[in-house]
C-alpha cells in the first residue's frame, strides 16, 4: 500500500509511516476484510464508508501536521482516519452524528492504545465549540459550502480540508485562514457521503444521495 501511495503523490514521510503502522483491517467489517488494503472506499454500515487509503493519506498530508496541533475531525466513521491523525498531532477531537459508529470506533481505537482522542456524538456541521479553537479541521463528508460554524472555530493561519459540492464528484479543498485573505486551493475531485446537519445538508439528503 505504501508503494502505491508514493506513486500517487504522497510525499510526507510521517504520513506514510502512519499509514504503514495503523492496521486498517481493524476498522473494516469482517465481510470486507479481503479488501481491507485495496485502494477503495468500503461500507462500514449506517450508510457510511471508510475512505480509500489514498484519500485518507492525501487529506492528512494536506493538513500539514507538525505533531503538536489540536485537530477537529468531523465524521469519526470507522475511526481509521482518527487513528492516522492521532499518530501525527497532539490531540484529536472527533465528532460523529451516529452513536453506533462513534462507539465502535472508540472501542477499536482504545484497543490500539490510542489515548489522545476525545469523542463527541453531535451535529458535526456545527463543529465542537466547547473545544474550539482548532489548529486544523478535517471533514470526511461533503458540504454544499464551507460551514460557517467550522470556519469560525479555526485559528488564524489554521487549515481546513473539506470536500465541497452539490453533486458527485465533489472538489476536495484546503482553506488556510489568513488576515489578508484566505487561501483556498482545489486539490482534486472526490466522492464522499453528504455532511448531514444544521450547517450543511438536511437528513433527507443522506437518503437520496447514498
pLDDT tens column, 117-162: 999 999 999 999 999 999 999 999 999 999 999 999 999 999 999 9
Active-site residue identified among 51, 78, 104, 125: 51
The pLDDT of residue 208: 36
Domains of the chain, earliest start first: 2-209 (3.40.50.150)
122 catalytic? Reply is no
The pLDDT of residue 210: 32
pLDDT above 90 covers what percent of the chain? Answer: 85
Kindly state the average pLDDT of the residues 160-172.
Answer: 94
CA distances from 133 to 20, 37, 60, 122, 166 (A): 30, 35, 19, 17, 28
The pLDDT of residue 111: 98
Q: How far is CA 12 from the centre of its chain?
A: 17
pLDDT of 171-208, one tens digit each?
999 999 998 899 999 999 999 999 999 999 998 765 43
pLDDT of 17-74, one tens digit each?
999 999 999 999 999 999 888 888 898 999 899 999 999 999 999 999 999 999 999 9
- Looking at the chain, the number of H-run helices and the number of E-run strands are 7, 9
Burial of residue 164 (number of CB atoms within 10 Å: 0-12, 13-18, 19+): buried
CB atoms within 10 A of CB 69: 20
Query: Per 3-state DSSP, what percentage of the chain is helix, strand, and coil (rounded to 5)?
Result: 35, 30, 35
The pLDDT of residue 206: 58
Kindly state the average pLDDT of the residues 162-169.
Answer: 91
Sign of CA dihedral 127, 132, 137, 138: negative
Amino acid at each position: 500500500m505504501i508503494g502505491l501511495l508514493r506513486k500517487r503523490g504522497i510525499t510526507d514521510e510521517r504520513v506514510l509511516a502512519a499509514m504503514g503502522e495503523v492496521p486498517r483491517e481493524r476498522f473494516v467489517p469482517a465481510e470486507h476484510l479481503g479488501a481491507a488494503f485495496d485502494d477503495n472506499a468500503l461500507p462500514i454500515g449506517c450508510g457510511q464508508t471508510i475512505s480509500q487509503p489514498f484519500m485518507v493519506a492525501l487529506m492528512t498530508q494536506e493538513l500539514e501536521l507538525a505533531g503538536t496541533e489540536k485537530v477537529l475531525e468531523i465524521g469519526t466513521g470507522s475511526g481509521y482516519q482518527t487513528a492516522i491523525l492521532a499518530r501525527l498531532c497532539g490531540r484529536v477531537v472527533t465528532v460523529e452524528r451516529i452513536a453506533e459508529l462513534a462507539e465502535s470506533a472508540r472501542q477499536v481505537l482504545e484497543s490500539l492504545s490510542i489515548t489522545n482522542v476525545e469523542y463527541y456524538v453531535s451535529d458535526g456541521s456545527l463543529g465542537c465549540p466547547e473545544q474550539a479553537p482548532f489548529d486544523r479541521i478535517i471533514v470526511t463528508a461533503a458540504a454544499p459550502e464551507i460551514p460557517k460554524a467550522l470556519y469560525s472555530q479555526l485559528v488564524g493561519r489554521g487549515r481546513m480540508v473539506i470536500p465541497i459540492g452539490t453533486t458527485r464528484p465533489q472538489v476536495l479543498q484546503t482553506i488556510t485562514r489568513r488576515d489578508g485573505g484566505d487561501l483556498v486551493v482545489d486539490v482534486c475531485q472526490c466522492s464522499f457521503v453528504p455532511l448531514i446537519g444544521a450547517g450543511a445538508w438536511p437528513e433527507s439528503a443522506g437518503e437520496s444521495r447514498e
